Structures are given as structure tokens and as C-alpha cells.
């Protein structure tokens, strides 16, 4: 069986990290070479060794460069090749003091072209024996956004020279033989509908490019910043906050005034905004902003505080009207006309992500039913029934808390699920229902309304907390997803 080989590099340009390989037949090789099957074509080889992150591949090219004038000192440039209509070439560097071979993928286009296009590239390099390509040295896949400033990327330490110049144990040939070697570059150009994939954001004008600015982090307040951004982009809430009377109050004395000023600066500031006035209004000290809190708890605290402060004003009741969902919990007999139910109101729906493909799967899971074999149906006696939940009414903004952790019975520990998780994509239907039980053919959420989701905004933080919103126009429903986990959840566009 072919073994997947990964060469772990201690350093590379831009501190690139090696991609992890899946499968029980994977083997890790440190400063070594591997053998590939002659039956593997380039596409299969790339699929086995390059990561599948679900990106839309615009073009894929495998470029082979045979080098017959190997030098221990100097820089070599490969012939040019095309991928996605752009010209590229490889750069190989080494000198007398080098311990490693340096290898880079460079663009041959002008800076103006790169600035205009900002190409996103995934690439992997192989150094192989010219006569026997099954003897090779492989590096990890790198991902890079080529701009007018960054026109080449790769590895200062692609491979140890001494390991390229001598045969590996059990092999009769080395990668470099007779002053010759071969370099293969597997290059993918990736479509980037977001415009920010692998972006360094160096010199990036957020206000100009997106119309929005960020919030500065106070130690460990990223959870708060994400919630504030979601609430700021909830236009009805922003309007309600602006309408609250604040005469004669100082920012440090009143949360509403501090929140109004924060929202105003988010609208008008050309750069990221501080949150110190708001945290001062909460009465937080330096120690409070230095320790991360639970984002869901902060969301509830902010909503409760606002709800109490706006009592007696024109904005009274706006929190409940915007965010409160009515959920029907029911038990319904299958053979007789008997049902018991209760309706509860909540500002946040809690959904699981483990084992789910996307947020629609999580919604389906929430509305699944279970059979009851001995349900006491009063005058009808004990009956077979089903129990479940259904949405009785939706607010304009459905807030969901996505739980990304699950208890592992084998290890006895709670583990974070880092699997890919998608948010609704344009063109997929979401059916919303205020009716309980559904048939197997119906949408998990309803029969009465059919609509197409339209992404309106997404806010992501890659460590502890992220958030996104998706708008469903014909039902006037926006789903605000609050994610609390040490993982990145990927949007599906």
C-alpha cells in the first residue's frame, strides 16, 4: 500500500505550517524521502497529499522542471508556466553555506496585475530523481495570497541538502544524481468570493473596502466585540438604542450613552474603535477585561441591562420584540386525538453542531421527534405518542447558540468538535413553521413559508468566539449564530 509521506520543515518563508494528513496508512518522515506509486497520476497524488478545505478551485496545474546543471552556489529560475491565465515560475536557491535547499513559487506578472487580482494559491513542491520519479522528497502545502507586494512564496528550508545528495536506506539512488534533479510544483488557484482569504490585512483599509471597522481588543474581550458587532449590525436594535433618552448623563455613568457613542463611532470612525467607555459603564476593572467570559452570558447580561434601562421610554420592549422566540414543546398521541403542549419564550436557541453538516442540520436535529410507548393520555389511557419541539413563532432575529463540544464516553472528557460546519448557502431553501409535527417529507422548520436565504453579514473570530448572520428576505427572518468554541467555523458561500 502506498504510504503518504510528509516532510516536516523547521522553518519556511512566512512561518508556514505543514498540512496534516488523514488516514491510518499515513507515515511521518523527518528529513527523508518517499516512494510514490507509478500508477498515481498527478491529480490523484495531489488529492492524497494536499488538504481538501472545500475551497472552489479555479485552476490546477502540475509543472515539472528538470534541472541538469545543479549548482552548490547560486539561484536558478525555471521556465515560465501558466495557471488560470497567469504566468508563474519557480525559484531555487542554494549557496556554499546552505544546509537546506530553498524553493519558491513566484509570479511573472506585473505588480499592477497582482494588485488588481490578488490571487489565492495553494501549492506543494516535490524534488524527485530525474530517472526514477518514485524517489522523491515532499514538503507541506502552503497557502498564500499573491499581491503586488508579495509576488513569491515558499520555503527557505525546503529540504536538507545532505539528504537529497545521498540515497535513503534501502534505495539505490538519491534524489540528486549526476548533477541533476527534478522539481514538481502542484499549484491550485482558488476562487475567493469573500475577498479576504489568506489576507494579511497589512495596510488594508477596512472602512474603504467593507464600509465597516473593527473593535479594539482590551486584553481578552474578543467575545464581547463579536456580540457588539452583531448587535450593531442589527439595524432595528441600533435605531432603538439611539432613541433612548440620555440627557445629562456621562458615558462612564450610563451604559446606554456609552453604547450609543460606541455605535456612532462604529458608523463614522475610519479605524477600529475602542470599547473602554462601555466597559467603564459596566463597572469593569482591568482584571475583568483581562479574563475571557462566556459570550452567551455576556449577551444575556447586555440584553437584560438594556431592557431594564429602556423601561418607560419609547424603546421599551424592543429587546423582546426583536429576539424572543416562542417554542412549542408537545406530546401528541399517534392513534387518538390527544395532545398536550406548553409554549416557552427564549432569546437564544441552543443547537448542537457535532455530527451536523450545517446550521440547517442543527435546526432539523432540534425539531426531531421521539416515540413514547406508554404515555398517559388521561381519558384515553396509556397511548403510543411522540414528543418533540416546534417553532411557534419567530422574532425578526433568531439568535442561536451553537455548541461545538460533546462528551466523549470513551475518554470521559468533553471535546471540541473541529469538523467543518457550514452556514446556509444562497439557493438553499429554509422552510419556517409555527406548526407542530411535520411529516418526513416536510422541511424541518415548516410548511407555511418557503424562502431563499441571502447572506447579509458575517463576523468571525478564529479562537474562542465567532458570529454570523444570514437573512431570509421573504420571511423577514435573520439568523444570528453565536459560536463558542476553540475552532474556526467556515461559511459556505
Choose the weakest-confidence range: 45-49, 192-196, 374-378. 192-196
Question: What backbone phi and psi angles, to 5 degrees, belong to 355?
Answer: 80, 5
Q: Could you report the per-residue pLDDT of 407-439, keeping only the tens digit for each? A: 778 888 877 777 777 765 433 334 333 333 343
CA–CA separation, 137 and 143 (whole Å): 19
Sign of CA dihedral 13, 18, 19, 21: positive
How does 257-281 read in b/e, with b if 16+ C-beta sit within 10 Å?
A: bbbbbbbebbeeeeebbebebbbbb
Dist. CA 153–CA 147, nearest whole Å: 11
What are the phi and psi torsion angles at 335 (to 5°)? -110, -20
Sign of CA dihedral 437, 443, 445, 450: negative
Neighbours of 325 (CB within 10 A): 19
> Pick the residue with more confidence: 433 or 352?
352
Other CB atoms closer than 10 Å to residue 477's CB: what's the count? 19
Residues 266-302 pLDDT 10s: 999 998 899 999 998 888 888 888 888 888 888 888 8
Strands of 325-460 (E only): list them.
Answer: 325-333, 339-346, 349-352, 370-376, 382-393, 397-403, 405-408, 413-416, 430-432, 449-451, 454-459
> Cell 513569491 sits at which residue?
152
What pLDDT sits at residue 308?
Answer: 83
**Alpha carbon distance 384, 369 (integer Å):** 13
Q: Would you say residue 35 has pLDDT above 60? A: no
Q: What percentage of the chain exceeds 70 in pLDDT? A: 75
**Which helix H or strand E contains 241, and what residues bound it?**
helix 235-242
152: helix, strand or coil: strand
> What is the C-alpha to C-alpha distance for residues 57 and 73, in angstroms, rounded to an integer?
37
Our CA dihedral for 46, 51, 55, 61, rounded to 10 degrees, sits at -20
What does residue 242 show for φ and ψ, rounded to 5 degrees?
Answer: -65, -25
| Residue 426 pLDDT | 33
pLDDT over threshold 70, residue 195: yes
| Predicted pLDDT at 106 | 92
The span from the CA of 15 to the CA of 457, in Å, is 31
Complete domains list, the chain, with CATH: 39-190 (2.60.210.10), 205-319 (3.90.70.10), 324-427+476-485 (3.90.70.10)
Band the pLDDT of 442: cuts 50, 70, 90. Answer: very low
CA distance 6 to 31: 9
- pLDDT digits 0-9 by tens, 301-329: 888 888 887 787 778 888 898 889 999 99
SS (HEC) of 79-116: CCEEECCEEEEEEEEECCCCCEEEEEEEECCCHHHHHH
The most confident of the ranges 355-369, 441-455, 469-483 is 355-369
| C-alpha cell, 36 | 510514490
d(CA 134, CA 40): 10
Q: Please measure the distance between the N-terminal and C-terminal CA atoms of the chain and give it in whole angstroms.
A: 37
Helix (H) or strand (E) holding 260: helix 255-268
Query: What is the spatial distance between Cα 424 and Cα 121, in angstroms, rounded to a whole number?
Result: 26
Rounded Cα–Cα distance for residues 391 and 40 (Å): 52
- What is the 8-class DSSP label of residue 475? G
Ranking 213-227, 325-339, 360-374, 400-414 by mean pLDDT, the lowest is: 400-414
- pTM greater than 0.75: no
Distance CA(260)–CA(416), nearest Å, equals 36
The residues facing 77 across adjacent strands are: 91
Q: Would you list the DSSP string of 161-208?
A: HHHHHSPPTT-S--SSBTTBEEEEEEEEEE--SSS-TT---TT--HHH
Phi, psi of 476 (to 5 degrees): 55, 35
Tell me the three state secondary structure of residue 280.
Answer: helix
For the stretch 486-491, contacts whose Cβ atoms lie closer than 8 Å and that sit 24 or more positions apart, written own/partner, are: 486/416, 487/404, 487/416, 487/417, 487/418, 488/460, 488/462, 489/353, 489/402, 489/404, 489/421, 489/423, 489/460, 490/53, 490/54, 490/420, 490/421, 490/422, 491/194, 491/422, 491/423, 491/455, 491/458, 491/460
Query: Cα angle at 8 between 4 and 10, to 5 degrees?
Result: 175
Name the grid cell of 46: 495531489
* Predicted local confidence at residue 120, as pLDDT: 92
- Across 114-118, 257-261, 385-389, least confident range: 114-118
Amino acid at each position: 500500500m502506498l504510504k503518504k509521506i510528509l516532510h516536516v520543515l523547521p522553518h519556511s518563508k512566512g512561518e508556514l505550517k505543514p498540512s496534516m494528513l488523514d488516514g491510518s496508512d499515513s507515515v511521518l518522515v523527518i528529513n527523508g524521502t518517499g516512494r510514490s506509486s507509478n500508477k498515481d497520476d498527478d491529480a490523484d497524488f495531489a488529492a492524497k497529499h494536499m488538504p481538501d478545505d472545500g475551497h472552489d478551485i479555479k485552476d490546477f496545474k502540475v509543472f515539472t522542471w528538470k534541472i541538469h546543471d545543479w549548482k552548490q552556489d547560486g539561484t536558478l529560475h525555471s521556465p515560465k508556466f501558466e495557471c488560470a491565465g497567469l504566468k508563474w515560475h519557480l525559484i531555487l536557491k542554494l549557496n556554499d553555506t546552505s544546509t537546506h535547499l530553498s524553493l519558491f513559487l513566484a509570479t511573472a506578472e506585473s505588480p499592477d496585475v497582482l494588485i488588481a487580482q490578488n490571487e489565492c494559491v495553494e501549492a506543494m513542491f516535490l524534488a524527485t530523481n530525474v530517472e526514477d520519479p518514485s524517489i522523491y522528497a515532499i514538503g507541506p502545502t502552503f497557502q498564500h495570497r499573491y499581491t503586488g507586494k508579495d509576488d513569491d512564496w515558499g520555503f527557505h528550508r525546503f529540504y536538507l541538502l545532505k539528504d537529497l545528495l545521498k540515497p535513503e536506506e534501502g534505495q539505490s539512488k538519491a534524489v540528486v544524481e549526476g548533477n541533476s534533479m527534478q522539481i514538481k510544483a502542484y499549484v491550485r488557484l482558488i476562487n475567493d468570493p469573500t475577498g479576504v482569504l489568506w489576507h494579511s490585512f497589512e495596510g488594508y483599509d477596512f472602512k474603504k473596502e467593507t464600509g465597516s471597522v473593527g473593535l479594539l481588543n482590551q486584553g481578552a474581550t474578543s467575545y464581547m466585540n463579536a456580540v457588539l458587532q452583531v448587535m450593531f449590525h442589527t439595524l432595528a436594535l441600533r435605531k432603538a438604542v439611539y432613541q433612548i433618552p440620555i440627557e445629562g448623563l456621562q458615558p462612564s455613568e450610563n451604559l446606554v450613552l456609552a453604547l450609543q457613542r460606541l455605535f456612532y463611532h462604529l458608523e463614522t470612525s475610519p479605524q477600529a474603535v475602542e470599547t473602554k467607555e462601555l466597559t467603564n459603564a459596566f463597572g469593569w476593572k482591568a482584571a475583568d477585561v483581562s479574563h475571557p467570559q462566556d459570550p452567551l452570558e455576556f449577551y444575556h447580561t447586555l440584553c437584560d441591562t438594556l431592557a431594564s434601562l429602556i423601561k418607560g421610554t419609547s424603546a421599551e420592549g424592543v429587546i423582546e420584540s426583536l429576539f424572543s422566540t416562542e417554542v412549542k414543546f408537545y406530546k401528541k398521541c399517534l392513534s387518538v386525538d390527544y395532545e398536550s403542549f406548553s409554549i416557552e419564550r427564549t432569546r437564544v436557541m441552543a443547537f448542537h453542531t457535532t455530527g451536523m453538516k450545517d446550521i440547517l442540520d442543527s435546526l432539523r436535529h432540534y425539531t426531531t421527534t421521539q416515540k413514547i410507548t406508554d404515555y398517559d393520555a388521561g381519558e384515553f389511557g396509556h397511548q403510543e405518542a411522540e414528543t418533540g419541539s416546534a417553532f411557534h413563532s419567530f422574532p425578526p432575529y433568531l439568535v442561536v447558540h451553537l455548541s461545538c463540544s460533546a462528551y466523549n464516553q470513551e475518554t470521559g472528557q468533553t471535546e471540541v468538535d473541529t469538523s467543518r460546519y457550514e452556514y446556509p448557502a444562497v439557493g438553499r431553501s429554509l422552510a419556517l413553521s409555527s406548526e407542530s409535527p411535520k411529516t418526513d417529507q416536510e422541511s424541518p422548520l415548516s410548511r407555511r413559508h418557503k424562502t431563499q436565504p441571502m447572506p447579509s453579514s458575517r463576523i468571525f473570530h478564529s479562537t474562542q468566539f465567532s458570529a454570523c448572520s444570514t437573512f431570509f428576505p421573504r420571511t423577514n427572518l435573520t439568523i444570528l449564530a453565536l459560536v463558542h468554541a476553540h475552532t474556526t467555523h467556515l461559511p459556505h458561500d
